[in-house]
Amino acid sequence: MTSTDHVHTAETARQRQRTFVPPSESYLPGVQDPAGDALLDQLFYATVDECPDPKCRPVLLDRVAGDVRATRKLVNWACWITSEVYGGLPEELVDEAAAADTVFCPSTTFRRLAAEYHNQGPSFDVVYDACGAAQRREAADNAVALVDGLQVWWTDFLYQ
Ligand SMILES: [Zn+2]
């Protein structure tokens, strides 16, 4: 699965105060990709575990970022969970000035993708296709960090 000799799963992941469904269990219309979904779960649980292996998360992030569908599923999953937690998507995730005031400080790309999620606009595919791998990597990193942060801090995560 990865270049490392270990895996991260829901069963082995460290306990958090709350537990959200893994990315593989969120719904994305279109082509299904179980192997890609398993990769997303690995990245999420590696984040939850705060994996110290220098090759683990970076390799997983590279692989997710190389796949537009995987990145989109991950960001959608994070936006969906965040919307459930806050009763809507907080402006701290889409507005540049508001985001800058948070500890989380999401990337420009993540904010743009979150705004698209919020607007459910017809330009969704265009926005994703316009992102380079480095931007998708940032957004994927933000997505898993966001959900892990909510698992620990709940609604305080954006306002700690
Ligand atoms: Zn690891």
Instruction: Examine the pLDDT at 3 and tell me if it is beyond 80.
Output: no
Q: How far is the CA of 7 from the centre of ligand 1 (A)?
A: 6
- 130-143: pLDDT as tens digits: 899 999 999 999 99
Beta strands in 70-113 (DSSP E): none
Q: Cα(97) to centroid of ligand 1, in Å? A: 34
Given a cut of 70, whether residue 4 has pLDDT beyond it is: no
Instruction: State the total domains in the chain.
Output: 1
Tens-digit pLDDT profile for residues 93-114? 999 999 999 999 999 999 999 9
For the chain, the residue count is 160
For 7-19, what is each residue's pLDDT tens digit? Answer: 999 998 988 889 9
Q: Does the residue 3 lie in any domain?
A: no
In a domain? residue 10: no
Question: Is residue 11 assigned to a domain?
Answer: no
65 within a domain of the structure (yes/no): yes
Is residue 23 situated within a structural domain? no
What letter would DSSP give residue 158?
Answer: G
Task: Collect residues with CB below 5 Å from ion ligand 1.
Answer: 46, 51, 53, 56
Domain that holds residue 150: 32-158
Q: Torsion-angle region of residue 50: left (phi > 0), alpha (psi -120 to 50) or beta?
A: left
| Amino acid code (one letter) for 156 | D
Could you tell me if residue 49 is inside a domain?
yes
